[in-house]
Structure 1
Amino acid sequence: MDARRASALVAGLDRRPSWRRLAAGSGLSLLMLAAGCMTSPKEYIQNGLKVGPNYRKPAAPIAEHWIDYADARVISQPQNNWAWWQTFNDPILSELIQTASQQNLTLRQAGFRVMEARALDAYARGNLFPQSQTGFGGYSRNLLSEQVGFVGGGGGGAGVPREFSVWTLGTQFQWELDFWGRFRRSIEAADAQLDATIEDYDDVLVILIADVASAYVDVRTLEQRLRYARQNVQNQSGSLRLAEDKKEAGVSSQLDVAQAVTNVAQTESTIPQFEADLRVAENRLCTLMGMPPQDIRALLAGNGGIRPIPTAAPEVVLGIPADLIRRRPDVRRQERLVAQQSALIGVAESDLYPAFSITGQIFVRASQFDNLFLSNATGGNVGPSFQWNIFNYGRIRNLVAAEEARFMQQVSLYQQTVLDANREAEDAIIRFLQSQEQVRILETGAAAAAESRDLVNELYQGGQADFGRVFVAELFLVQQQDALAVAQGTVARSLVEINRALGGGWQIRLQGPATLVELPPVEEVQAGPEVAEEAAGPEAPEAAETAPAEGDDEEGNIPGLAPDPAFEPTPEITLPEEFDGQKDLPEVK
């Protein structure tokens, strides 16, 4: 199966040539037949006077239900709360996410890409009107040779002056008519590219929110591990003092002291590593919020007190796997890129047919500047023309085949993106469920280890047990408590990953700006007034709204360019402050 046939099947189209349909179009049929007839006259009319295929959303493989749908903790119903981080009931986490969504620099880059795509979309729409409209003018001083032309000895022209001036002022235009839909297909491609950049913005926002939540969980997990380590060092230091006292009393040996020192040193050695990892996690949070790395312990402490590892209900609302296609921005972005590539097939095919244009110019010309604006100084011309690349040696058809092959690549990538989304969600679900089981087991083990440590300490203090049992009990308690903290953090991170895989959270951009974390003075981190002014965030120039061009309807649709009924509109994007005043998009459904 060739690429053209395959692309037609994927897009839900049948582009097989029909000689009956070709004959039905009379002169138009002959013209399209001479051009190679990749689009029949009937298709051309049905497509709104455009060559190339009309786009239809390709099918994508998706599971009917989650693998663990029978688990009572997996709730297969639509999500009502897109702000999933609120299930942790942690106001500091909510504040960090709100701040990052307004200040993150990677997200701002995605926003500026949306602005770029909007400008290019408006540029593509401008090609529907005269593509070249230029003014010209000039002055020249001329001297004719006596040996040629009217003045020469060839005869005639005795009254023609050898020296004269020429003043010229005028305008000219060229308007290539969109007879084959090349410019309208280009608009379709630009619209799809704009949609894709908006989905890219949402995808960056989803990843950002999940990264902030993961970094926050890492901070709280490391804080818990530090608390366990310091508490165990304190307890082990008490056992060390007891062993030293008993050695001095002559009721124990140096071995007890050596084992106690080993335990204390082993546990204490983990504290510097935990502190370093904690600083790294805090620095990561700073970067995600668009801040230079700094001490944010006061911000993380909130109103004071010890903050535990975030926890949520053991159940999770997932919806059904098919919702991933609708909710995940990266899936929607890839589908829009498929639509863009479909339109580019028509753009390439239009080069097979003659291009019809209207060209003209009007000017005034005189030898004296004072006579330049007299009525008889006016000149000009206007008329139709066409240009047809008839001897292209198959190059244009091969370019069309290349665009169709790129279309098939985008379709395959879209289907792979859907598969990856399904896999990522399933991976996060099983980690969430099994990490809960791990926490339950470790909580039992840690409680038993703490009880064992207390009991064996009493026995050792009363002389009923040797220090070897204390050594093992304290060592095992450290391991169990640290593993418990890690597992609790894994539960929280798994819930974060579930919501990242489900594509939730991008709706936060539809909210108004909130109170942000104040950035430190730029001068403290980078000298120079120009750099400081730039880093402080100068206001971006306002972009003018794109009004419907002449001949458009109130919604900005071009006459003859009917929207595809299978097309699902991209949600409206509301960008932070400097992105205001841009083209409005359909509301979120």
Structure 2
Amino acid sequence: MEVWLMTVKVLLTTLMVLSLGGCSLAPTVKKPEPSMPENWTSARLSADEKLPLDWWRGYGDPALVTLVEEALDANNDLQLAAARVAEARALLTGQQAERYPLLEVEGSAVRQGPSEESVNSTGGQPFNDIQVGGVLSYELDLWGRLANASEAARARLLASAANREAVRLAVIGEVANGYFNLRALDRQIDIAERTVSSRRESVALQRARFEGGEINELALRQAESELAAAESELPRLRQQRSLQRNALAVLLGRDPQRIVRSDISVANTIGEMDVPASIPAGRPADLMVRRPDIAAAEQELIAANAEIGVARAAFLPRISFEGLLGLRSASGGDLFQGSASTWQLGGSLVGPLLDFGRSEALVNQAEARQRQALIAYRQAIQVAFREVLDAMAGVRGTEDRLEAQARQVAALRSTAKLARLRFEGGASSYLEVLDAERSLFTTELDLVETRRDHLQSTVNLYRALGGGWQNSLQSSDYENTD
């Protein structure tokens, strides 16, 4: 028995060393090397600083910080992504276990009435066969099939972890953009309500003047028309605010209205929110390690490449070994006697002889998936670079529009004030007042939208730059934790 155990131990050690040193049939990964400029061209981007992970705090709004924290705790998409990481972790654990010996216990008890004509005939007398023992089996991974399968599972775990970071970044960006839109709608509703109140006073004044014979009916009807136009704007804005609150509710996993209202005393208006003077962007080449979607695409390419090695190994024979050590007796009372011990040691070699192209088809499928992964990786890099350029253009464009519209609003406020003074002095008709106030109302609403667009463009730029994430993925970081 001791000799058998020593033999099995030496044999398994030798086989595992041979297996770990086996060859790999997977091709070498050839990742594309995109051509990128040395630096970004925007003066708003700084090349030497690191983007903070909590970049949303830079807007200086406590309510926004609260909403983001709520979303990170309860967002359904994030929880789904975390569950996918857990699934990938379990798949890797199972795949890694395939590379090690499998120890199983088996037992059986049989009473048999044999044929009198059998080779080992007992004279037709029934007999018992009771056995119990351990079975040890192991596949020698000479061709790297199991190693490549583990490599593919490891890469898919890292891809799922990177995808979770991409979802996290997207959720933060959507919460920030949704919150800015909500604050903009609040401001637009305030402007509309103020305008409605002012126009109601104007209608009352014009009606008194009409009844006093100072103006004609046309001036009164024009004032009533402008009041109705402002009143019709309020339901539209309130509907949009409700829709935005509903959208935030989905992102947070619950109703955000209570959060926003509880923090309203410390929340900033849309015009008071801080806009970063500069954004630490690094260099264009840094996108390769700052974007989680690029990291996920890279790991998918590594996984697809390893699966080619798995498919190619199907052309070669599998070598397996099995050993048994146990007890066997014709009666339960004798089962634990020293003479009841039994052992068995053997091996098998199984390889394809004629599979009608099945193995070749599996290799072709794996190679096609690898080409798809390579294209997806190259596209992820191109899309990332384009998104940064688009976001930079958005920041510049909204900044220029914001400055121009602010000047326009200031000018229209002066125009409306002068028009009313001219009307009250009898130098012009009330139509001039209505035109000036109509233009002011529309432009004030547009200015709020542009402020929102400018804030959202900076959010989009943070997202395009990776949101402060750095690619330092290691499978050991995800094998035992969420």
Within a 5 Å distance, the mapping from 1:117-156 to structure 2 comes to 117-131=88-102, 133-146=103-116, 148-149=117-118
Between 491-500 and 286-295, report the one with greater CA deviation: 286-295
Q: Which of 292, 296, 299 pairs up with 2:262?
A: 299
Q: Provide the residue aligned with 2:52 in structure 1.
A: 81
Q: Which amino acid aligns with 1:334?
A: A
Structure-2 separation of matches of 1:56 and 1:323: 21
Q: Provide the residue aligned with 2:216 in structure 1.
A: 253
Given that residues 45 and 279 in structure 2 are in contact (C-alpha distance below 8 angstroms), is that contact kept between their aligned partners in structure 1?
yes
CA offset digits 1:444-485 (Å, max 9, x no partner) = 111111111111111112222111111211111111111111
Given that residues 60 and 414 in structure 1 are in contact (C-alpha distance below 8 angstroms), is that contact kept between their aligned partners in structure 2?
no
Structure-2 separation of matches of 1:412 and 1:458: 67
SS across alignment from 1:175: strand
Given that residues 52 and 467 in structure 2 are in contact (C-alpha distance below 8 angstroms), is that contact kept between their aligned partners in structure 1?
no
Change (3 A) 1:49 1:241: same
- Cα deviation for residue 283 of structure 1 reads 2.4
SS across alignment from 2:143: coil
- Cα deviation for residue 495 of structure 1 reads 0.6
SS across alignment from 1:301: coil
Q: Which of 70, 73, 84 pairs up with 1:113?
A: 84
Q: Provide the residue aligned with 1:520 in structure 2.
A: none
Q: Which of 337, 340, 343 pairs up with 2:306?
A: 343
Structure-2 separation of matches of 1:299 and 1:574: 38
Aligned length: 464
Give % identity. Answer: 27
Q: Which of 204, 208, 214 pairs up with 2:167?
A: 204
SS across alignment from 2:282: coil
Q: Which amino acid aligns with 2:109?
A: Y
SS across alignment from 2:123: coil
- Cα deviation for residue 391 of structure 1 reads 2.6
Structure-1 separation of matches of 2:59 and 2:133: 70
Structure-2 separation of matches of 1:180 and 1:417: 33
Q: Provide the residue aligned with 1:103 in structure 2.
A: 74
Structure-1 separation of matches of 2:118 and 2:319: 38
Given that residues 134 and 171 in structure 1 are in contact (C-alpha distance below 8 angstroms), is that contact kept between their aligned partners in structure 2?
yes
SS across alignment from 1:360: strand
Given that residues 329 and 340 in structure 2 are in contact (C-alpha distance below 8 angstroms), is that contact kept between their aligned partners in structure 1?
yes
Matched, 1:583 2:480: yes
Between 169-178 and 52-61, report the one with greater CA deviation: 52-61
Structure-2 separation of matches of 1:96 and 1:292: 11
Within a 5 Å distance, the mapping from 1:264-303 to structure 2 comes to 264-292=227-255, 295-303=258-266
Q: Provide the residue aligned with 1:357 in structure 2.
A: 320
Q: Provide the residue aligned with 1:377 in structure 2.
A: 340
Matched, 1:50 2:20: no
Q: Which amino acid aligns with 2:231?
A: E
CA offset digits 1:29-72 (Å, max 9, x no partner) = xxxxxxxxxxxxxxxx9x95322235446024243157xx4443
Between 293-302 and 397-406, report the one with greater CA deviation: 293-302
Q: Give the TM-score, by structure 2 length.
A: 0.89
- Cα deviation for residue 186 of structure 1 reads 1.3
Structure-1 separation of matches of 2:50 and 2:132: 67
SS across alignment from 2:134: strand
Within a 5 Å distance, the mapping from 1:178-577 to structure 2 comes to 178-292=141-255, 295-303=258-266, 308=271, 310-505=273-468, 569-570=472-473
Change (3 A) 1:442 1:73: same
Q: Which of 31, 41, 61 pairs up with 1:90?
A: 61
Between 216-225 and 137-146, report the one with greater CA deviation: 137-146
Change (3 A) 1:74 1:293: closer
Given that residues 218 and 489 in structure 1 are in contact (C-alpha distance below 8 angstroms), is that contact kept between their aligned partners in structure 2?
yes
Structure-1 separation of matches of 2:22 and 2:131: 41
Structure-1 separation of matches of 2:85 and 2:267: 41
CA offset digits 1:84-118 (Å, max 9, x no partner) = 21221112212211221122121011112111111
Between 118-127 and 134-143, report the one with greater CA deviation: 134-143
Q: Which amino acid aligns with 1:411?
A: L
Structure-2 separation of matches of 1:141 and 1:81: 74
The structure with the greater share of residues assigned to helix is: 2
Given that residues 341 and 403 in structure 1 are in contact (C-alpha distance below 8 angstroms), is that contact kept between their aligned partners in structure 2?
yes
The higher-RCO structure (CA 8 Å, 6+ apart) is 2
Structure-2 separation of matches of 1:170 and 1:338: 44
Q: Give the TM-score, by structure 1 length.
A: 0.74
- Cα deviation for residue 229 of structure 1 reads 0.9
Structure-1 separation of matches of 2:119 and 2:245: 88
Given that residues 75 and 319 in structure 1 are in contact (C-alpha distance below 8 angstroms), is that contact kept between their aligned partners in structure 2?
yes
**For the aligned residues, what is the CA RMSD?**
2.6
- Cα deviation for residue 205 of structure 1 reads 0.3
- Cα deviation for residue 402 of structure 1 reads 2.4
Change (3 A) 1:398 1:264: same
SS across alignment from 2:25: coil
Given that residues 129 and 331 in structure 2 are in contact (C-alpha distance below 8 angstroms), is that contact kept between their aligned partners in structure 1?
yes
SS across alignment from 1:193: helix
Q: Which amino acid aligns with 1:129?
A: Y
Mark the runs of 5 or more structure 2 residues left unpaired by the alignment. 1-17
Change (3 A) 1:277 1:97: same
- Cα deviation for residue 393 of structure 1 reads 4.1
Structure-2 separation of matches of 1:95 and 1:573: 32
- Cα deviation for residue 504 of structure 1 reads 0.6
Structure-2 separation of matches of 1:573 and 1:111: 16
Between 395-404 and 50-59, report the one with greater CA deviation: 50-59
CA offset digits 1:274-326 (Å, max 9, x no partner) = 11211222222222122146544423414478564634044433222222111
Structure-2 separation of matches of 1:341 and 1:304: 48
Structure-2 separation of matches of 1:467 and 1:121: 77
